């Protein structure tokens, strides 16, 4: 799962608290399957990659259009707000209300987030509500959509103000090294954020509880034991109020580490498919991906902030009259920082995506080695593709800029072809350098 992406987003946009609250995408599928009899499945039988439906291809193509629009819009909106002088007027207002630097930041940032949220409301509504409903992918009511939006905005305001205090304090005190100190200072917050997110933030949006199917829970915990994960916690979340799609993810850090299953996944996948998806999640756990993703976020943050540090003074020197401020340490520069961070992230995103795909592939490999359920894995991916209107073989723009996971086609191919040799006890023998062994 793309924790990388989630944390990238968290960091890239962290400055203004635009933290994504949606869990990263994971094997999602729908379609009811009758409980598969465990004994009757030949796990070595290959599974064909289905052709995407016309509806799926339309969803994919329009999705690419929206993706391109969002990239441009993400630059255009902060540019408009800062270059029109609106940001500086907003800061003057905030200074009058807030008095003193501390209060100014605390008033400016929520105001800025509120204004942008209102401007973006129609776009968010179309992309987050109308479009998924039109394709039969969403169950969300208007009320739930609005509540989630308001909650998200509230969380962003609170987190955004905290981050802005730190960032602007460092900008004022150390104009030459602020980017380094901010990145270093973000590490404890990233760790704390990873710890707190599943306990305090996620439950604001949905109900998390223990698994209802105790037998399946036992199978999952058995699997976790074999994967070397002790006292693993498995939670079930009521995502069926929001979506038709299916997902599972690992989250948390230290004591808050957990595997979360959407109830939609439990309803629509067969038991062996669920176990394969769980084994994939356990792979993220066992291979230390949560911590690695936090580290990669740190590297991205450092690079992004350094870019801001180098580029912003030139922009301010040239346009200060228009901007209405002449120092980066003026909180009115917030949209400019956001704009430059977005530019940096556009350039850095392909590397972040490639790293995420690598982790996802390793988790798939782990799942096959742990369970030997090649066919169940492949059939889970088939459901994911058909029910979520996926394109199993997306084009290169999608692959480079958007794909946090290997394509569904590649994942099914891998399930069909990767046959780790097993010892007499059925445990996989480590693959030699040079590729998987054929049976
Ligand atoms: Zn994953």
The pLDDT tens digits for 273-314 are 999 999 998 898 889 888 888 888 889 999 999 999 999 999
Centre of ligand 1 to C-alpha 147, Å, is: 28
Does 41 map to a domain?
A: no
Q: What are phi and psi of 359, to 5 degrees?
A: -60, -40
Q: Would the pLDDT of 37 be above 60? A: no
Q: Would the pLDDT of 168 be above 90? A: yes
| Model pLDDT, residue 429 | 60
Does 123 map to a domain?
A: yes
Cα separation, 225 vs 181, in Å, equals 41
Does 22 map to a domain?
A: no
Q: Would the pLDDT of 322 be above 90? A: yes
Cα four-point dihedral sign 380, 259, 427, 40 = negative
Does 62 map to a domain?
A: yes
How many separate domains does the chain show?
A: 1
The model's confidence at residue 72, banded by pLDDT at 50, 70 and 90, is very high
Strand residue runs (E) in 93-233: 208-210
Centre of ligand 1 to C-alpha 155, Å, is: 26
Centre of ligand 1 to C-alpha 288, Å, is: 12
Span 404-428, average pLDDT? 85
Q: Would the pLDDT of 99 be above 70? A: yes
Does 137 map to a domain?
A: yes
Cα separation, 408 vs 11, in Å, equals 28
| Model pLDDT, residue 22 | 33
Does 77 map to a domain?
A: yes
The mean of the pLDDT values for the chain is: 84
- Domain with 135 in it: 3-17+53-197+204-417
Tell me the H-state helices in 126-141.
131-134
Strand residue runs (E) in 238-280: 248-251, 258-262
Centre of ligand 1 to C-alpha 92, Å, is: 46
Answer left, alpha or beta for residue 100, where phi above 0 means left and psi between -120 and 50 means alpha.
Answer: left
User: Other C-beta atoms within 10 Å of 51: how many?
Assistant: 12
| Model pLDDT, residue 229 | 75
| Model pLDDT, residue 21 | 30
C-alpha closest to that of 386 among 16, 11, 31: 31
Does 31 map to a domain?
A: no
Q: Would the pLDDT of 254 be above 80? A: no
Does 437 map to a domain?
A: no
- From the CA atom positions of the chain, what is the Rg in Å? 23
Q: Which residue has the higher pLDDT, 108 or 252?
A: 108
Q: How does DSSP assign 153-172, residue by residue?
A: HHHHHHHHHHHHHHHHHHHH
Q: Are 265 and 244 in contact (CB under 8 A)?
A: no
| Model pLDDT, residue 48 | 87
Centre of ligand 1 to C-alpha 59, Å, is: 23
The pLDDT tens digits for 325-341 are 999 999 999 999 999 99
């Amino acid at each position: 799962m793309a924790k990388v992406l989630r944390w990238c987003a968290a960091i890239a946009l962290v400055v203004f608290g635009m933290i994504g609250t949606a869990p990263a995408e994971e094997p999602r599928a729908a379609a009811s399957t009758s409980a598969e009899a465990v004994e009757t499945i030949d796990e070595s039988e290959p599974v064909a990659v289905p052709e995407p439906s016309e509806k799926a291809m339309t969803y994919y193509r329009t999705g690419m259009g929206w993706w391109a629009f969002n990239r441009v819009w993400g630059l255009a909106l902060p540019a408009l707000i800062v270059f029109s002088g609106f940001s500086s007027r907003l800061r003057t207002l905030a200074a009058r209300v807030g008095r003193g630097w501390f209060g100014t930041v605390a008033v400016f940032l929520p105001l800025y987030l509120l204004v942008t949220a209102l401007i973006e409301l129609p776009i968010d509504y179309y992309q987050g509500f109308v479009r998924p409903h039109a394709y039969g992918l969403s169950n969300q009511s208007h009320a739930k959509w609005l509540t989630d939006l308001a909650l998200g905005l509230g969380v962003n305001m609170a987190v955004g103000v905290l981050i802005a205090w730190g960032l602007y304090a460092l900008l004022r005190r150390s104009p030459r090294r602020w980017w380094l100190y901010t990145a270093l200072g973000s590490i404890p917050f990233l760790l704390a954020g990873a710890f707190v997110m599943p306990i305090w933030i996620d439950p604001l949006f949905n109900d998390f509880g223990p698994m209802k199917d105790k037998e399946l829970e036992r199978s999952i915990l058995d699997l976790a034991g074999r994967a070397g994960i002790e006292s693993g916690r498995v939670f079930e979340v009521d995502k069926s109020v929001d979506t038709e799609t299916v997902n599972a993810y690992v989250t948390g850090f230290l004591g808050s580490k957990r595997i979360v299953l959407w109830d939609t996944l439990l309803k629509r996948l067969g038991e062996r498919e669920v176990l394969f998806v769980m084994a994939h999640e356990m792979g993220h756990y066992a291979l230390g991906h949560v911590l690695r993703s936090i580290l990669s976020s740190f590297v991205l943050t450092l690079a992004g902030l350094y870019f801001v540090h180098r580029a912003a003074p030139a922009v301010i020197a040239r346009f200060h009259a228009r901007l209405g401020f002449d120092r980066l340490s003026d909180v009115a520069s917030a949209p400019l920082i956001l704009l430059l961070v977005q530019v940096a992230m556009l350039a850095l995103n392909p590397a972040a995506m490639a790293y995420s795909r690598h982790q996802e592939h390793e988790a798939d490999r782990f799942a096959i080695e742990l369970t030997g359920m090649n066919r169940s894995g492949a059939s889970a991916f088939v459901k994911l593709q058909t029910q979520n209107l996926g394109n199993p073989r997306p084009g290169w723009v999608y692959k480079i800029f958007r794909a946090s996971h290997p394509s569904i086609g590649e994942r099914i191919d891998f399930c069909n072809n990767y046959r780790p040799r097993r010892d007499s006890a059925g445990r996989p023998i480590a693959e030699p350098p040079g590729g998987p062994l054929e049976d």
